[in-house]
Structure 1
Amino acid sequence: MTSRHDRMGYVVGHDDDIPRRIPLIQDMTLADFPAEIGLFPLDEVMLLPHGKLPLNVFEPRYVALVEDAMRGERMIGMIQPRDWPGMESVAGVSGSDVADGSEDPPELYSIGCVGRITSMTERADGTYGITLTGLARFRLLREAGVRRGYRVARIDVSGFAADVTDPDEDVAYDRERLLESLRRFCARQGLNTQWDALYEMDDATLLVTLPMICPFAKAEKQALLESATLAERAHTLRTLLDMAGHEPDEGASPS
């Protein structure tokens, strides 16, 4: 069932006449996405459609981003910065931009993901703990300046219409082989995994959760984000797990 709107354009609930300012996630269409969005660039942090990403938000400009998002449609654009000579981990959760504005900010990848704030905790020190739920990927068209310290961009989600639908439950991939690749990867990396929880996940949930939590480098994360289908993502994920032989990353991670 789709939402209906009143004369002022507000979404009206299905069971009563109390208007909603923003639609339910399951009722969203491409028309509900903004043409311009605030960006949260983070290294090696990826949000996928239908995924959930917890974040600690403490830097003033990203606190401002959360506050501004809460005044609107509660949407934030998660995106990774490209490699940038001399870049240090100074911003957000794991670092992505220059903190003092004395340098040009790093170039961004062209594909990110729109997330909606679906939970938020305000702490006594003015920082936030939030959870973003992935809605749809976007293509970055151009940056549109800086607002209250954070970067703003014009985006296009029209090429990712399938992201706003329910994920396909029948994915053509070898689940057991993927999990075996994960076991070998975790053994090499010395990682502990909640195997019972993974085995209980349906295919769509597994192929959203694993790419987000695996400690891959930014280029590998980006390849997973840009995979056209769940089956392609599964193939890319298994390839990355099989190829991985590096030492465990020591950088920061989402909360």
Structure 2
Amino acid sequence: MSKDSDEFVRSIARGFSIIEALGKPPGRHTLAEAAQLAGLSRATARRILATLVTLNYCAADGRYFSLRPRALGLGLSYLNALPYWGYAQRALEDLRNEIGESCALAVLDEREIVYALRLPARRILSTNLGIGSRLPAHLVSLGRVLLAALPAEKRAAYLASGDFKPVTPRTETDPQRIGEILARIENEGYAWVDGELDPAICGIAVPLRDQIGAVVAAISINMISGTMSEAAAKKKYLIPLKRTAQDIRSQMVSAR
């Protein structure tokens, strides 16, 4: 829907932009800061903040505004609506306990992945990533699995419009090469990424499919880079990963 459409409610869009602005570090902001982050005038931001305070989504403390716990319900509404989320929590916990490595589940949102679950196993991998964290999709195994599942025209548009900046010396930045990698992932059914986002971390991921076979998410196992090659990771972890994905899918089917 276009923002110029008669059905587009601008006030709702502005309200969400303020909520997103207040969710950015350092966790509380002045009116001027919130307005700037949301791309709104101070007068508009003031009205929206007053409304959010009244609705208990936001707290006011002198010059500063911050989100209240009620705002967390917006994200939980999405997670609770996912037909696989509850099953995935248990399944990924079982997988992590079995293999002793970090496990995660993510969905695709435009050019980024969003973590819906992340279960760290080793302290060295216990980064600041958690539920709701975002990463560029092409840099991680979860994202590449999800990009590989896009329809051909959407994948081509993604590659054509992408700005693939290097993050580490190993980051792949060539759109043609990324396209070839995605085609291989689609054919082989898994993705492997080593050190392209963080030189200390590598990961292997597989798609999570719904009842009709559509890819709705991806699950991954992450390890310390240098401890395992792609061939070794595939031999050790691909079967447990695919089994876990199938277990979650089976729970979705039986719950219908």
TM-score range, shorter chain: under 0.3
- Using the size of structure 1 for normalisation, the TM-score is 0.27
- Using the size of structure 2 for normalisation, the TM-score is 0.27
Q: Mark the structure with the bigger radius of gyration.
A: 2
Determine which structure has the larger helix proportion and give its number: 2
